[in-house]
Amino acid sequence: MKRIAITHAEGETLGRSVKDGSGSVLVKAGTVLTPRYVNALLRRGFAEVFVTDALAGEIDVEDALRDETRGRAYSAVQQAFAEMRLEETEAVEAARSAVDEILDDLMSADQNLISLSALRASTEYTFIHSINVCALSLLIGLAQGLDRGDLRRLGLGALLHDVGMADCADLAGKPGALTNPEWDRIRQHPVTGFNLLRSRAGVHLYSAHIAFQHHERLDGSGYPRGLREERILPFAKVVAVADAYDAMVAERPYRPAMPPHAAVAELLEAVGTHFDAAIVHKLSRRLATYPNGTVVRLSTGELGAVSGQGVRPTFPVVRVVSDVRMSPVAPADVPLETDPQHRRIVEMLADWPPTFAMRVRELASAR
Q: Distance between CA atoms of 320 and 303, rounded to whole angstroms?
A: 6
Angle of helix 125-144 relative to helix 277-286, nearest 10 degrees?
A: 100
Closest C-alpha to 284, from 339, 236, 244: 244
C-beta separation of 241 from 213 below 8 A? no
Q: What is the CATH number of domain 67-286?
A: 1.10.3210.10
Q: Which range, 117-121, 201-205, 278-282, has the best average confidence (pLDDT)?
A: 278-282
1-24 burial: b if 16+ Cβ within 10 Å, else e? bbbbebebbeebebbbbbbbbebe
Whole-number CA gyration radius for the chain = 21
- Confidence class of residue 367 from pLDDT cuts 50, 70 and 90? low
Q: What is the CATH number of domain 1-52?
A: 3.90.105.10
Q: What average pLDDT does the segment 225-239 reach?
A: 97
Residue 256 clears pLDDT 90, i.e. is over it: no
Alpha carbon distances (Å) from 143 to 103, 147, 268, 287: 13, 11, 18, 12
Q: Distance between CA atoms of 335 and 18, rounded to whole angstroms?
A: 30
Q: What is the DSSP letter of 258?
A: P
Q: Where are the domains of the chain?
A: 1-52, 67-286, 294-367
Q: Distance between CA atoms of 53 and 179, rounded to whole angstroms?
A: 45
Alpha carbon distances (Å) from 337 to 316, 324, 341: 7, 20, 10
How many Cβ atoms are within 10 Å of 107's Cβ, its own excluded? Answer: 11
In the chain, % of residues over pLDDT 70:
99
Closest C-alpha to 118, from 85, 154, 70: 70
- Confidence class of residue 5 from pLDDT cuts 50, 70 and 90? very high
C-beta separation of 53 from 305 below 8 A? yes
Q: Distance between CA atoms of 97 and 141, rounded to whole angstroms?
A: 18
Alpha carbon distances (Å) from 96 to 109, 127, 339, 353: 20, 15, 45, 46
C-beta separation of 251 from 257 below 8 A? yes
Q: Distance between CA atoms of 14 and 32, rounded to whole angstroms?
A: 6
How many Cβ atoms are within 10 Å of 316's Cβ, its own excluded? Answer: 25
pLDDT on residue 254: 76
Q: Which residues contact 245 (CB under 8 A, 6 or more apart)?
A: 136, 263, 264, 267, 283
pLDDT on residue 117: 82
pLDDT on residue 167: 81
Residue 364 clears pLDDT 80, i.e. is over it: no
Q: What average pLDDT does the segment 219-227 reach?
A: 97
pLDDT on residue 122: 84
Q: Distance between CA atoms of 101 and 97, rounded to whole angstroms?
A: 6
Alpha carbon distances (Å) from 164 to 75, 171, 257: 17, 13, 24
What mean pLDDT, rounded, does the chain reach? 93
C-beta separation of 187 from 162 below 8 A? no
- Looking at per-residue confidence, does 349 or 167 come out higher? 349
Helices vs. strands in the chain: H and E counts, helices first: 13, 9
- Confidence class of residue 359 from pLDDT cuts 50, 70 and 90? confident
Angle at 127 between CA 124 and CA 129, to 5 degrees: 95
Taking only the tens place, the pLDDT of each residue in 107-152 is 998 777 888 888 888 889 899 999 999 999 999 999 999 999 999 9
Give φ, ψ of 319 to 5 degrees: -85, 100
How many Cβ atoms are within 10 Å of 329's Cβ, its own excluded? Answer: 12
pLDDT on residue 109: 84
Taking only the tens place, the pLDDT of each residue in 145-196 is 999 999 999 999 999 999 999 888 777 777 778 889 889 998 999 999 999 9
